[in-house]
Amino acid sequence: MFLRLRLCFFLALRRLCTREELRAGARVEVSEAKRDPLDFVLWKRAKPGEPAWDSPWGPGRPGWHIECSAMSTACLGAHFDIHGGGADLQFPHHENEIAQSEAATGQPFVNYWVHVGFVRVDQEKMSKSLGNFFTIRDLLARYPGEVIRFFILTSHYRSPLDFSRQSLEQARAGLTRLYTALRGLPGAETDGEDGIWRQRFEAAMDDDLNTPEALAVLFDLAKEINRHREEDAAQAARLAATLKKLGNVLGLLGQDPESFLKGGERTGLSDEIIERLIEERNQARQRRDWAKADRIRDELKAQGIVLEDTPQGTLWRRV
């Protein structure tokens, strides 16, 4: 037996489309048990071999739309702020979820709907059927969580997210640029100098959570820090504090820069061996033995260790 809610009434109420614009059976064959093609199912009659529960309407199980209404209202109440989901769920699933929830509670259901784009792997939609399915746990075995977070933020939440090893390496490189800008600035814990930087950042986030544009603001800020680093260390430190503060809004730049830059994938040379080789290289440079100094630099580079000679000494990071 079907409990019926008229979807067309809900759609017309929200001015999404009219009853005449809906095409019954365009995607799924219309069930003969429906009184109207635009009805949707709240309770499905039990079929042989399927799980079933007793109800006033006979044995059966909830329709697939009702599951989300039940979980949402049980955990968050009849009215809450943000509801997420894939772009493919916008219609009919979320439309039906709104209709049945508001009909049941008499209250507005959700303030904001956030529909995300598909995750694609090398330009194909990620799915188990294609064999290109992976989990966050799989990724964390190869990349730090902050790199994965940065990668996700490089695309707008409504846009497709194209996963590849190359894109994750680009994310690692981008995050490294931001941490490098913070490196060696102990004053990065000061009050900062927000000004135009915070205004630009907030404008990007207010524009439908435009995280790619927000990241662009962080990169511009990092460039400004590097420009001031030698000529005005105090200003560089204030800008660095702002960079860290804005990055924290996105869940980024929460680590000590040295820890991040020297962390990487814990394989290959240990920190102690790297420091010893850098000391040998420094001694070779003092003797003007440039051939040995270059050889040590190249050996470290081959192991994924990048050296940076600064007035404060030689710094290194993993790539």
- Are residues 302 and 236 both part of a single domain? no
Query: For residue 201, which of 188, 185, 189, 215 has the smallest C-alpha distance?
Result: 215
| Burial label, 51 (beta-carbon count in 10 A; 0-12, 13-18, 19+) | exposed
Single out the residue of 40, 66, 62 nearest to residue 50, CA to CA. Answer: 62
Q: Please give the pLDDT value at position 264.
A: 52
Number of domains in the chain: 3
Share of residues in the chain with pLDDT > 70 (%):
83
The answer to whether position 1 is within a domain reads no
pLDDT at 188 over 90: no
In this structure, the answer to whether residues 157 and 219 fall within a common structural domain is yes
Which residue among 82, 116, 150 closes a domain? 116
* Residue 223 in domain: yes
The rounded mean pLDDT for the chain is 83
Q: Does 26 fall in a domain? A: yes
| Domain-embedded: residue 112 | yes
Residues 153 and 226 occupy one common structural domain: yes
Interval 94-127: pLDDT, tens: 999 999 999 999 999 999 999 999 888 876 777 6
Residue 82 tokens, joined = 């943000």
The pLDDT score that the predictor gives to residue 23 is 52
Residues 221 and 155 in one domain: yes
Report the SS3 class of residue 31: coil
Q: Could you read off the pLDDT of 126-165 as tens digits, one per residue?
A: 766 677 777 788 888 788 899 999 999 999 999 998 888 8
Kindly state whether residue 110 falls inside one of the protein's structural domains.
Answer: yes
Residue with tokens 């990092």: 222
Q: Residue 20 maps to which CATH number?
A: 3.40.50.620
- Give the pLDDT confidence score for residue 21 in this predicted structure: 54
Q: What is the pLDDT at residue 11?
A: 36
- The CATH number for 202's domain is 1.20.120.640
Residues 97 and 212 in one domain: no
Q: Cβ distance 239 to 224 under 8 Å?
A: yes
- Cβ neighbors of 125 (< 8 A, separation 6 or more) are 118, 119
What are the C-alpha distances in Å from 290 to residues 66, 221, 268, 303? 72, 36, 25, 20
Q: Are residues 230 and 108 in the same domain?
A: no
Q: Mapped to the 3 state alphabet, what secondary structure does 228-254 carry?
A: HCCCCHHHHHHHHHHHHHHHHHCCCCC
Question: Domain boundary residue among 87, 116, 145?
Answer: 116
Q: For residue 246, what are the domain limits?
A: 120-261
Q: pLDDT tens across 249-281, in order? A: 999 999 999 889 887 554 566 777 888 888 889
Write down the pLDDT at residue 4.
Answer: 33
Whether residue 28 is found in the same domain as residue 75: yes
Residue 203: per-residue pLDDT? 97
In whole angstroms, give the CA distance from residue 284 to residue 292: 6
DSSP type of residue 189: G
Global confidence as pTM: 0.70
**∠115-119-121 over CA atoms, to 5°?**
165
Q: What is the pLDDT of residues 3-35, one digit of tens each?
A: 333 333 333 333 344 555 555 444 456 666 677
CA distance 41 to 254: 47
pLDDT, mean of residues 290-307? 84
149 and 247 share one domain? yes
For 255, other C-beta atoms within 10 Å of its C-beta total: 15
DSSP, residue by residue, 135-173: -HHHHHTTS-HHHHHHHHHTS-TTS-EEE-HHHHHHHHH
Q: Which of 243, 261, 279 is the last residue of a domain?
A: 261
Rg of the chain over Cα atoms, rounded to whole angstroms, equals 28
Domain match, 195 and 83 both: no
Residue 22 lies in a domain: yes
- Asked if 174 and 143 count as a contact pair (C-beta separation under 8 A), the reply is no
What is the per-residue pLDDT across 227-242, written as a single tens digit (0 to 9) for each?
998 889 889 999 999 9
Please, are residues 139 and 148 in contact by the beta-carbon 8 Å criterion?
yes
Same domain (yes/no): 173, 210:
yes
DSSP state letter for 33:
T
230 & 173 share domain: yes
Q: Is residue 2 part of a domain?
A: no
Closest by alpha carbon to 245, among 285, 206, 281, 195?
A: 195
Alpha helices in 77-144 (DSSP H): 95-105, 136-140
Instruction: Please tell me whether residues 194 and 98 are part of one structural domain.
Output: no
Angle of helix 165-182 relative to helix 233-249, nearest 10 degrees, comes to 140
Q: Would you say residue 11 lies in a domain?
A: yes
